[in-house]
Structure 1
């Protein structure tokens, strides 16, 4: 893929050795024909619109879909779907802008930007590059924590569903989520040894299938509940004053914005996904725009159906997590299948999100200590496929990262509040601001032209939404911390 270390032909930037390898690979490509190498001397990319769509769907239709019924419950039948549609349109539009920044200059022959940070560096430079890197990688760490929490809640829900089935719904069935976080962490240590994006396509496709599985089950259970209720619950304005205090109504509504933003968050890995797409024609930007359209349209349809049907089924009592909040108790085996699908999906989504961070750290280490056998050496693993090689630094640092995020997840197992906060802090800078600013530079849009003004107004509006949503989520987390005891909280 690219110089970020995500691709198979990674080597650090700069230096005679790197330049020699670049020339050698290009010459090899010319000798062996263009079937082997792309225009930048890397092994030929093989991704298509469908593999890119699978990566996006894996990243987008994540745990966020399960909180949408609650989010619509705070906003009501009018504002809820409207806000969801608004976020989908903004995400599609800014993702299209960002996809144009994969190549600097001409979209078919310009210099490739292999990572989000590369694109920012090529178009903006200066302090904005460091700011982008901090926000991107901090958000990835946050997503890893959020997915660990969500996966443990789903595993715990399987145990509780079986408990409720045997002991009755009045039994509290208190179970600690900590052991399940450990189980998920152990699984991620294993899967995190997959070197790069090229080798996790199968995991993304499996995860995308799982996301459709549990979303469909949630939708079906919602429809059944609406039929059983003999009507649709909910109101035009959402949860009413009286059921919650006026200030809680405000905070919860703002948090709902963060939850919806999180459900559409994937821009921070868009460039890395685009770098898997095969070379033109057509251009990578055109393929990525089609993949984005297919993915965002598909996810929005599922979000509308699942979120609205969940709210219609439970009204103001819609749980924070549709399949683990136990609005549904039966059939317990169907809930088990749905929650198992969530866990499998989150295993893949965790890897899709974390690959850019893994690659960044490994690239930096190889540039800093190029002669270290611990960092650059590889060991052939005979028990696995012949193509798999184990790197000791990758094993050590990725395992340490998984352990760290797992421990933090144990300290902060607040699904809705954490999801809302992550969605809020990542939405404006990574999904809106940087794509807009890079597009303005890339297309040389004149300052104070009508297009420039419109893009800046879009960015300003999204900044206001981000600040408000972050405030609501922080208020929710502070409220949770008042009654929480680390490592002892049970669900």
Structure 2
């Protein structure tokens, strides 16, 4: 998607139409963009969708997924038009990243807010991945235990050891300098993502056939009080919100596309295609999971042990999750590493701790260049995400909070505001009223989801 500096400096000067010194050959097509989006969107969030369906019921569940899909289409189309911008200093420009587009269209103050939310989202996703990976590691051990000792055996294991193990692996992986050195890790992660999602779908379908009937109800899981139902529905909306948007990487994907045709046209088609495929996949996973288990639908389709056999397939699916999230953690962490390290290098250009590299020779391996700042900061970063995950090891609640926190500002507010600037939409014009109403409604949904998810997180912590 660009030269090394593109991924290390979030606020680079946008490239001109001729691209000047940043002349890059873009070869991306409709199909490569579609593949990038699907790979980015289908992740661990898909495993919580059956639980979300169970809270919402047979009518509200599918409707909620379709609505969120529609919202994602609208916001992605708005964002596609923000890729190219007229700039008074540089002429027609390409915005290589989400933050570049915000800076050029909305100014520096909005950029700082966007950057804070974007990197907070990446940090939070790292925490969620620690939780999910440890849950899957534990599920492999429990699956083998149930197979040996029967489904009624206790087979209780803790999470802490697996979180620490995953943290140790990530401390090593985090010393990978940047994205250019981890293509193989991303490819493996993408293959694993499709593998475990497909297994979850197939197991749910097989369970429905085995049951001979479709479980579940129109109203979803019943609760003791109306307040509890409101909280669980709110949390379910947060989980769905976590599973859909990809706004923080949309412009980066669009920057890979060749032109002509215009990049925004290709990207809109790719978004529509990818969201259609993703929504179909999500509906299948969510609906078959709910149809298989009804009110007993687990929070995580592959680790909640609605499925016991074939145990080897469940083990394989959870191993795929682990391998996917080893790479996924790095995909969301490397931009944070690059931003902080580049900022410190510019702030302290003569500091040896920040800028000096040491060559270390390991037997049978090529020489490795180490930097003390990279070693210390990245290790501390991994330790912090691992520590917070150990304090709040609650899969669905954490996904709900992350989805609610980031859905409106990153997927709705900034795209709408940038579109107003790009198209010079006057206040109270018809399009202004429609998009402003759309933004306010999404804000209200986000607030409801956030409150419910935070309540669920607190309740889980206190219970």
The TM-score, its normalising length taken from structure 1, stands at: 0.86
Where does structure 1 lack aligned partners over 5 or more consecutive residues?
A: 15-21, 27-36, 484-491
1-structure distance, mates of 2:299, 2:118: 26
Where 1:132 maps in the other structure, the secondary structure is helix
Where 1:104 maps in the other structure, the secondary structure is strand
2-structure distance, mates of 1:250, 1:417: 14
Aligned pairs (5 A) from 1:52-131 = 52-105=33-86, 110-131=92-113
Alpha-carbon deviation of 1:387? 11
Task: Name 1:348's counterpart in structure 2.
Answer: 327
Alpha-carbon deviation of 1:113? 2.4
Where 1:355 maps in the other structure, the secondary structure is helix
Where 2:374 maps in the other structure, the secondary structure is helix
- For residue 374 of structure 2, the aligned residue among 388, 394, 398 is 394
Matched length: 458
Contact (CA 8 Å) 2:52, 2:237: kept in 1 or not?
yes
- For residue 415 of structure 1, the aligned residue among 391, 395, 402 is 395
- Residues 306/97 of structure 1: CA separation in 2 closer, same or farther (3 Å cut): same
Where 1:323 maps in the other structure, the secondary structure is coil
- Residues 51/221 of structure 1: CA separation in 2 closer, same or farther (3 Å cut): same
- The CA deviation string for residues 423-465 of structure 1, in whole angstroms up to 9 with x for no partner, is 0010000000001101111121222111111111111110000
2-structure distance, mates of 1:300, 1:190: 35
Task: Name 1:362's counterpart in structure 2.
Answer: 341
Q: What is the root-mean-square deviation of aligned Cα atoms in Å?
A: 2.8
1-structure distance, mates of 2:97, 2:218: 43
Task: Name 1:236's counterpart in structure 2.
Answer: 218
Match status 1:159 vs 2:141 = yes
Where 2:175 maps in the other structure, the secondary structure is coil
Match status 1:448 vs 2:428 = yes
- Residues 306/11 of structure 1: CA separation in 2 closer, same or farther (3 Å cut): closer
Contact (CA 8 Å) 2:354, 2:373: kept in 1 or not?
yes
Task: Name 1:270's counterpart in structure 2.
Answer: 250
1-structure distance, mates of 2:202, 2:426: 50
- The CA deviation string for residues 122-155 of structure 1, in whole angstroms up to 9 with x for no partner, is 1011532222122111111111101110111011
2-structure distance, mates of 1:11, 1:298: 31
1-structure distance, mates of 2:6, 2:165: 26
Where 2:300 maps in the other structure, the secondary structure is coil
Contact (CA 8 Å) 1:210, 1:345: kept in 2 or not?
yes
Task: Name 2:177's counterpart in structure 1.
Answer: 195
Alpha-carbon deviation of 1:378? 4.3
Contact (CA 8 Å) 2:4, 2:180: kept in 1 or not?
no
Contact (CA 8 Å) 1:88, 1:296: kept in 2 or not?
yes
Contact (CA 8 Å) 1:38, 1:45: kept in 2 or not?
no
2-structure distance, mates of 1:244, 1:348: 41
Aligned pairs (5 A) from 1:325-344 = 325-344=304-323
Contact (CA 8 Å) 1:204, 1:348: kept in 2 or not?
yes
Contact (CA 8 Å) 1:145, 1:406: kept in 2 or not?
yes
Contact (CA 8 Å) 1:58, 1:205: kept in 2 or not?
no
- For residue 315 of structure 1, the aligned residue among 271, 274, 294 is 294
2-structure distance, mates of 1:429, 1:69: 26
Comparing 225-234 with 289-298, greater Cα deviation is found at 289-298
Alpha-carbon deviation of 1:2? 6.3
The TM-score, its normalising length taken from structure 2, stands at: 0.91
Alpha-carbon deviation of 1:13? 6.2
Where 1:110 maps in the other structure, the secondary structure is strand
Task: Name 2:188's counterpart in structure 1.
Answer: 206
Where does structure 2 lack aligned partners over 5 or more consecutive residues?
A: none
Alpha-carbon deviation of 1:358? 1.9
- The CA deviation string for residues 346-389 of structure 1, in whole angstroms up to 9 with x for no partner, is 12222222232222212211221123343334456766998985
Alpha-carbon deviation of 1:278? 4.9
Contact (CA 8 Å) 1:12, 1:366: kept in 2 or not?
no
